């Protein structure tokens, strides 16, 4: 299977997100309190995470169709 590279890239993205969230937590705890703008940005993160969860769940239902005809991939191919 050639999926491992995709899972690896996704896991790296999660690592960066987790690190960023830890940084925000420390910032809010030790540097400055959460502002209304911060809360709005957090709401955007939550919405994005919910969309990501839905997209990940949808991957479980993808039906394998085999290799597509090259003409389907590139309508200009002859």
Q: For the residues of 35-53, what is the DSSP string, one character each?
A: PHHHHHHHHHHHHHHHHHH
Residue percentage of the chain with pLDDT more than 70: 87
Residue 20 sits in which domain range?
A: 8-60
> Of 18, 25, 64, whose CA–CA distance to 10 is shortest?
18
Model pTM score: 0.75
More confident residue, 76 or 68: 68
Q: How many domains does the chain contain in total?
A: 1
Rounded-to-integer distance, Cα 28 and Cα 38, Å: 10
Q: Is residue 75 part of a domain?
A: no
Averaged pLDDT, 8-37: 97
Query: What whole-number distance in Å separates Cα of residue 54 and Cα of residue 36?
Result: 27
User: Does the residue 2 lie in any domain?
Assistant: no
């Amino acid at each position: 299977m050639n999926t491992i590279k995709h899972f690896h890239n996704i896991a790296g993205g999660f690592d960066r997100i987790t690190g960023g969230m830890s940084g925000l937590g420390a910032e809010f705890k030790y540097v400055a309190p959460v502002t209304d703008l911060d809360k709005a940005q957090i709401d955007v993160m939550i919405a994005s995470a919910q969309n990501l969860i839905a997209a990940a769940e949808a991957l479980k239902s993808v039906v394998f169709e085999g290799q597509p005809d090259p003409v389907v991939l590139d309508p200009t191919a002859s």
